[in-house]
Amino acid sequence: GIQVEQSPPDLILQEGANSTLRCNFSDSVNNLQWFHQNPWGQLINLFYIPSGTKQNGRLSATTVATERYSLLYISSSQTTDSGVYFCAAYNTDKLIFGTGTRLQVFP
């Protein structure tokens, strides 16, 4: 089955710093989605991004499907960005989640 790997597993930043999170997937996937799980456990949609680049405020994502990876960029990080970031690749109707990147942003 599809394997989804994320790196780095942990990331510690000071407020204002930029970061790049990576998601590699092992096989052809239909589409890809990025989520943020906040410290209260809620999973929040960030991007649905089968290919190309999307931006939403300080966050942007790029997926290069032919090379089987996606990147999530966080600029000018804030303490509210803390939590776990998951990418999930679609295999037909099923979402396969990566193991996540745990981000801690300190003031």
Partner 1 sequence: DAGVIQSPRHEVTEMGQEVTLRCKPISGHNSLFWYRQTMMRGLELLIYFNNNVPIDDSGMPEDRFSAKMPNASFSTLKIQPSEPRDSAVYFCASRPRQIQETQYFGPGTRLLVL
For partner 1, the binding residues (CB under 8 A) are 30-31, 33, 35, 41-45, 48, 86, 88, 90, 93-100
Between 11 and 84, whose beta carbon lies closer to partner 1?
Answer: 84
Between 16 and 52, whose beta carbon lies closer to partner 1?
Answer: 52
* Pairing between β-strand 52-56 and β-strand 43-48 as defined by DSSP bridges: unpaired
Shortest gap between Cβ of 78 and partner 1 (angstroms)?
Answer: 22
Tokens at residue 69, please?
């990876």
Apex 84 CA angle, 81 and 85, nearest 5: 85
Counting beta carbons within 10 angstroms of the beta carbon of residue 69, is it exposed (0 to 12), middle (13 to 18) or buried (19 or more)?
middle
Shortest gap between Cβ of 51 and partner 1 (angstroms)?
Answer: 13
Between 91 and 104, whose beta carbon lies closer to partner 1?
Answer: 91
Shortest gap between Cβ of 49 and partner 1 (angstroms)?
Answer: 10
